Chain A
Amino acid sequence: QQPVQSPQAVILREGEDAVINCSSSKALYSVHWYRQKHGEAPVFLMILLKGGEQKGHDKISASFNEKKQQSSLYLTASQLSYSGTYFCGTEKGAQKLVFGQGTRLTINP
């Protein structure tokens, strides 16, 4: 089952914060987050494993609530370079990732 992301699109001004949510109807072992720039391949950001952990690097962090089968990606003090489409991916057994439909993030100066 494909995870559901919200919102579908976000427009921010540089320096503002954003939250992207990812939810699944099935129990999750892990959640992946990727960013894709227009015309390029997705780039891995981080993975959150079962255990309800929170991870982050720079000003991008994420949380994983396995009981609620949800994950959220937090972008603080957004930079122009954060623009792109963000995908969450959840495991469909045996390391097969199923991706959400994506959230398009636009950062304006």
Chain B
Amino acid sequence: SQTIHQWPATLVQPVGSPLSLECTVEGTSNPNLYWYRQAAGRGLQLLFYSVGIGQISSEVPQNLSASRPQDRQFILSSKKLLLSDSGFYLCAWSDDRSYGYTFGSGTRLTVV
């Protein structure tokens, strides 16, 4: 069966520090991978989308970047965090247009 792993679960980082969040999927090949961000009490904002290794689509211009070095690995990064980067970051995958997304357990990032 397919599983998605996302870590860390919580993170407190100072302004200006770098960020690296990792997401891996098991049990499937060539999944579509996504990064979403959710501000407190708000909806889900699509940040990045990938259909294959090295293929990244950015949805919102911002202080973040994403990479997909392996088929089932998706990384969210920042060189210098801003206060506005705080939020709940969710990785998700899908492999068929007729099925829904499966989300990872999320990383709660607080920038101080």
Contact = CB atoms under 8 A, between A and B. Distances in A.
Interface residues of B, number: 23
Interface string B37-76: 0000011101001010000010100000000000000000
B106 A102 contact: no
A32 B101 contact: yes
Contact of B46 (A32, A41, A47, A96): A96
Contacts of A95: 32, 94, 97
A3 to B, nearest CB: 10
Q: How many A residues are at the interface, by size bracket?
A: 20 to 34
Contact of A101 (B42, B46, B51): B42
Q: Which of A30, A87, A92, A97 neighbours the largest number of chain B CB atoms within 10 Å of its CB? A: A97
Interface in A23-73: 29-30, 32, 34, 40-47, 49
B2 interface: no
A43 B105 CA distance: 10
Contacts, number: 56
Contacts of A40: 105-106
A44 B100 contact: yes
A46 B43 contact: no
Interface of B: 32, 34, 36, 42-44, 46, 49, 51, 57, 59, 90, 94, 97-106
Given A40-B106, A44-B102, A96-B34, 16 more contacts: A2-B43, A32-B101, A41-B104, A44-B100, A47-B98, A47-B100, A87-B43, A94-B51, A96-B46, A96-B57, A96-B59, A97-B46, A97-B101, A98-B46, A99-B43, A101-B42
Interface pairs A-B: 7 shortest CB-CB:
A44-B100, A41-B103, A99-B44, A101-B43, A41-B106, A96-B49, A47-B100
